[in-house]
Amino acid sequence: MLSPYRVIDLSDERGLACGAVLADLGADVVQVEPPGGSRARRHGPFLKDEPNPERSLYWLAYARNKRSVELDLDDPAGRETLLRLASGADFLIESQGPAAMAAWGLGYEDLSAHNPALVYVSITPFGPDGPKADYEATELIVHAASGAMSRNGEPDRAPLRAGGISAWAYAGLEAAGAALVAHWERVRSGRGQRVDVSALLSTNLAAAFVLLATRTGGSRETRAGGGLRLGPIDSPFIWEAADGFVSLTLMFSGPAAPFFARFLAWMQEEGSLDAEDAERDWAAAIGRVVAGQEDASQFTGFIERIAAFLRARTKEELLGESIARSLLLVPVSTVADVYRSPQLAARDYWRAHEHPDLGVALPYPGPFAKLSRTPLAYRRPAPRVGEHGAEILAEPARRPVFSGGRPGSEGAPLAGLKVLDFMWVMAGPHATRVLADYGATVVKIESASPLDLVRVLPPFYGGVPGPENSASFGSLNAGKLSLSLDLRNPRSHPVVHDLVRWADLVCESFSSQAMTKLGLDYESLRAIKPDLIMLSSCLFGQTGPLASMAGYGTMGAAIAGLVQPTGWPDRAPCGPFGPYTDWLAPRLTVPTLLAALDHRRRTGQGQHIDQAQAESALHFMTPALLDYAANGRVIDRVANTDPQMMPHGAWPCAGDDEWVVIAVRDDDDWGHLCQTMGLADDPRFATLTGRREHADEIDTAIAAWTQARGPAESEQALQDAGLPAHAVTHSAGDPQLDGHFIAAPHPLRGTDEVESSRYRLSRSSARVRRAGPTIGQDTDAVLREMLGYEEERIESLRAFGALGPEGT
């Protein structure tokens, strides 16, 4: 899809995934490496545990489909060669930071003077400006600063990072979408621009609106150990099975209620639950407990009976019953389970890459989406250092695809793009929110029955629950129009057909076959619009034995191996908080959609995109998957420890549940830590091995220092000493986040606070036109102004129940 375009990639491990996505989408990505190879090659794990630049599994994971050239940018000749390559490129990616690039004479202003059409992507930990722009950072620091870490873990222990999930992968995959947003503005204007992506804001998406809650009347949420806390009640999502763990979504009302009722009926069939408990209104009972009208003892006993029922059965048995009975129950997979998945085998997911120089063939995660016309191809394995240097340098000078501006043609990058949006809950709406931010007209189809689950999820504006009060919904769907249709009513279908004719892009995130049953599947709709691009995004994809399974991102995270690595070695996994695949999959949805649109712009060809959110999420786990394939190592729970850094974790500070994270990268960092904390220069701790052997003693010494200080004071003292450290953020008061939360118009409250875009374009700022709509807020306006319907037809549709009530 992106085969006409050339990408120059100067990034290290902090941005490597960006080029990987663009390469998978077809671009020619040239990885520029310093002498001896990229720093990313020193990032473990390693093939056969042998540290070597050619054996880094992190490198193999995210340098696929690229070519490599070795250049010394400290040498004038190397910089001259880079300038020549960049002058003919369409995109450039860097993660060295603005100061380093400017010192080389390779900053955006320098390169754009030679190539005005260049899209220049900068990936940094905290962004190019703000009080923390120059902070020392590792992935642990980013996880803590983002707010996501504050929700991971258990209330009686330290907060946890998400195990196996790279904060740099968050930033890199986000940057791929950002680059293509800027590209679409270039299609109009002929000009490039600078794109700034921070790992901080990219990873903040996984905080599940915890920071927004502190600005909208919500209270601070504490860690719930992989479940939900409802007042005094802990409702777990992770349960022990006979041979491991499973994820059972216990939600007692709303769209999940029928699944819960079927699970209780099964327990009753098996004699594990009496009729009274099976038929009890548990949602009402919990409401009384939360209100203090009843004690929680009945619920505690109920949870114990569920736990005993699940412990008596294997993961395979439970999954089989879940498929047969339509339950919200899946295994918590290890990476070994993931490789053995019948679902992935049925979808022909894995791709074997030969590495002749290493003497191995490794199975890699396959396409992050299945495209009907332009399937993603893995053309080559990750390159050796400078493998293609002679080839690249011998190529004739290249001209960028776009050159020369078109005066007066600037505007929002996606202005004029029309999106028909059937997405709901979180994963899909995150992606269409990005399109709306950058100018697309997004018409969201929804109904009061069934209600979009996010409308009843906290935080709530003013702390008052209600479908028009969810701050999560308001932020997630900012900038969109709401059209209320009852898709179960056949009289609504001609309206959908007219909307398809109007739209450039149709997106849906219902369970597999839902649109087919409605007669609104891709084959039916492309008969109406032959060049239609349609995205179908669901947990497990449109085919395979799990295709019919409905569910939430908590289940996708469990079955994709994302839950098992997060937790403490002596306890059950708690998983990263929330529906984790909902935070991961949209990073790949956006670049896939924009690449498909660019392909249609050039060829006139539409296509269907089948995105399995769990499959997309596996691309965040690629190094861990390769570690199992190459070394037989199953990534498991190690809390916050790191194989290459020590100490590395979270320590308590003065205050209520306040923490600071610290990452000691090497022996020099250890010396600085000792000086800052006044610790004795003990030779037992001088090396990584020694520090590991005496971890408990070191942990106690650090805790004594941090507990005498608040988290902000601890953070500042350690950063002043050149050490990676950060408070575990749990509110929106961090000055580095200034400007991320903005006021947007809302018809009921005047303005609502929502999150802004997670990246910045130098010439094309995101514009949040309004907060998320009320149900059906724009029904009549869309039908009149976009489809040209007369009032008589609109009222007829409403009278026959095809439309929902008029919105506010």
Give catalytic residue positions: 582
Rounded Cα gap, residues 733 and 38, in angstroms: 36
Let me know: does 741 contact 215? Beta carbons within 8 Å: yes
Q: Which two tokens stand for residue 748?
A: 């009921």
Strands 91-94 and 741-746: unpaired
Rounded Cα gap, residues 618 and 628, in angstroms: 14
Strand order in the sheet with 370-371: 370-371, 607-612, 533-538, 505-508, 418-422, 441-446, 481-484
Rounded Cα gap, residues 266 and 577, in angstroms: 28
Across 231-373, the runs of DSSP E, i.e. the strands, are 233-236, 238-241, 244-248, 329-331, 351-355, 360-364, 370-371
> Does residue 272 sit in helix, strand or coil?
coil
**Contacts of range 47-53, beta carbons closer than 8 Å, 24 or more positions apart:** 47/358, 47/360, 47/630, 47/631, 48/630, 48/631, 49/631, 53/385
Rounded Cα gap, residues 541 and 620, in angstroms: 18
Which amino acid is located at 156 in the chain?
A: D
Q: Which two tokens stand for residue 298?
A: 């009945």
Rounded Cα gap, residues 506 and 597, in angstroms: 12
Q: Which two tokens stand for residue 798?
A: 């409403």
Q: Which two tokens stand for residue 84?
A: 């020549």
According to the 3-state scheme, what is the secondary structure of 169-188?
Answer: HHHHHHHHHHHHHHHHHHHH
Let me know: does 420 contact 101? Beta carbons within 8 Å: no
Q: Which two tokens stand for residue 575?
A: 């998983």
Give, as one character, the DSSP assignment of residue 41: G
> Does residue 706 sit in helix, strand or coil?
helix
Based on its alpha-carbon atoms, the radius of gyration of the chain, rounded to whole angstroms, reads 26
Let me know: does 263 contact 248? Beta carbons within 8 Å: yes
Beta partners for 201? none
Rounded Cα gap, residues 618 and 539, in angstroms: 12
Rounded Cα gap, residues 49 and 220, in angstroms: 42
Q: Which two tokens stand for residue 628?
A: 């199992």
Q: Which two tokens stand for residue 173?
A: 């995959």
Which amino acid is located at 433 in the chain?
A: R
